[in-house]
Amino acid sequence: MEISPMASTRSKIKYSPQEQTLLRLLPTGKRISSMELDNQLYTTANRPFHSLKSVSATMTSLMKKLDYNKDKYMIIKGPRSGPKYMEYTKVERDVRSKNKAARSSN
């Protein structure tokens, strides 16, 4: 089976409307919990029963798409801490790689 030359080119994956909204809501360089994102995304009138689960799943999908697309930003998930809400931080991709290189050289 031959692979065509066009098969090797990667196209970007599009973001869903909810992923685009969450990306806009995330502050750059600051931690924000999944509950805070949930409160900003949904009002009490349109909040689904499992809205927090929906936000967490969308954030996981968004993180994967940002990595695949090699976009300007990347999202870092904070460490799990028992019953506390997950925390996310949006950082610029090149800043993250510079910090990582500086830590490894020390």
pLDDT by 10s per residue, the chain, length 106: 454 555 556 788 999 999 999 999 999 999 999 999 999 999 888 899 999 999 999 999 999 999 999 999 999 999 888 888 999 999 998 865 555 555 555 5
- Residue spans of the domains in the chain: they are 16-105
Residue 65 confidence (pLDDT): 94
Listed in sequence order, the residues at least 6 apart from 84 whose beta carbon sits closer than 8 Å to its beta carbon are 33
Instruction: Output the CA torsion 74→24→56→80 (10° steps).
Output: 50
Beta strands in 1-106 (DSSP E): 31-33, 73-77, 87-92
pTM greater than 0.85? no
Cα-only R_g, the chain: 17
What top-level class would CATH report for the domain 16-105?
Answer: mainly alpha
